[in-house]
Structure 1
């Protein structure tokens, strides 16, 4: 048997991540370490929940007792998660499509990667 190769890459430091979110004051993007106190559940979705004939998923609104208002969802799976979280006493807020997580190399660093979740 030959030697198994494993790529040993250093894990990115927390300062290489950014979080983006939207609220009544507009859109924000800050380093992850600076958003510890941000209440993302009080924000607005970063994108809409379009609905059109023939689409393969089922977006909609779920009325949440936790928030006292509607929570948007993009699929029945997300709706089911919202319902489960709504009945969990430790949960104090819900908001789907609330934030964007970004991981990217800073200028001048070796290699290149860029990742954005939930965009």
Structure 2
């Protein structure tokens, strides 16, 4: 890590992230710990509607990392999911988490 990045890491500790588990329980953790709780995150905040004449491209991507489907709403989101799924450092992916 470069010296410039170290200051950013320290600042992250000042923030908290609030999330809702699959069971519907609201939890708050330091932002730096958020990657540790990704498996506990609930379902997407909203649905992925599909209708005739739609300008976006919603769908589902099968993630080998997670062993389940993840929703997306555009080609850009799908491409990001594919890239994350091929990265060995990635241990969890959440769709529409915020």
TM-score range, shorter chain: 0.5 to 0.7
Q: Does the aligned pair in 2 maintain the 1:50–1:59 contact within 8 Å?
A: yes
**Residues 1:33 and 2:30 are matched in the alignment:** yes
With the length of structure 1 as denominator, give the TM-score of the two structures: 0.57
With the length of structure 2 as denominator, give the TM-score of the two structures: 0.68
Between Structure 1 and Structure 2, how many residues are aligned? Answer: 84
- CA displacement 1:68-89 (0-9 Å, x = unmatched): 1101111111001000111111
Larger of the two Rg values belongs to structure: 1
Aligned to 2:59: 60
Aligned to 1:23: 21
More strand per residue: 1
Q: Which secondary structure does the structure 2 equivalent of 1:81 belong to?
A: helix
Segments of 5+ residues of structure 1 without an aligned counterpart are: 1-13, 101-119
CA RMSD of aligned residues (A): 2.6
Tell me: CA distance 1:20–1:75, structure 2 relative to 1, closer, same or farther (3 Å): farther
**Residues 1:85 and 2:84 are matched in the alignment:** yes
More helix per residue: 2
Segments of 5+ residues of structure 2 without an aligned counterpart are: 1-13
Tell me: CA distance 1:33–1:42, structure 2 relative to 1, closer, same or farther (3 Å): closer
